[in-house]
Structure 1
């Protein structure tokens, strides 16, 4: 399986509303529940409506579109990283999965995934 490194540094935010959210970046992910409105976006595009934020995240994308019948893709990646003491923030879209780690753990994450047989580009 191939994992693609995304270049932008990311922030995970809790926002009060969608005003100022810039959807034009390489990755912008919104999540809404009855309790919160969350945003993952490039750090240089964090909106003013941010209530809380965690900066210094990096992302990997599972290359290609994943069929919904596939089992364990995210679990496999998460398992490798967990065994190496690396925490993740996972995102899933219609087509694929994204795994974020903190910047200071990113190189270790890449090395662990390569060691486990993942192609990282």
Structure 2
């Protein structure tokens, strides 16, 4: 499986109102439930009005469109990283999965996944 690094620093945060988010930016993820609005974005695009904010994330995506019938893809990656004491923040879209790790663990995460047979771009 091929992994593609996301080329910028990421921030994970919570906001009170979706209207503080600039939807014209090219990379962001919004999760809205009955309890919160979570937002992941390029760190330089983080809204000023956040409830909570954690900078210092890097990420990668699983390249290609993943069929819903596929089983265990994210689990295998998360297990490899967990075995190396690397925690993750996972995101899924209709087409694929994204995995974020703290920037301080990113190089080790890429090394562990490459050693496990993943190709990395």
**TM, length-normalised to structure 1:** 0.96
Counterpart for residue 98 of structure 2:
98
How many pairs were matched up?
121
Q: Which has the higher strand share?
A: 1
Q: Distance in 2 between matches of 1:38 and 1:19?
A: 13
Please report the RMSD computed on the Cα atoms of aligned residues, expressed in angstroms: 0.9
Q: Secondary structure at the match of 1:47?
A: coil
Cα gap change, 1:6 to 1:26, in 2 (>3 Å): farther
- Does the aligned pair in 2 maintain the 1:19–1:47 contact within 8 Å? no
Q: Distance in 2 between matches of 1:2 and 1:38?
A: 27
Gaps of 5+ in 1: none
- Does the aligned pair in 2 maintain the 1:16–1:37 contact within 8 Å? yes
Q: Distance in 1 between matches of 2:40 and 2:54?
A: 10
Q: How far is the alpha carbon of 1:22 from its aligned partner?
A: 1.9
Counterpart for residue 47 of structure 2:
47
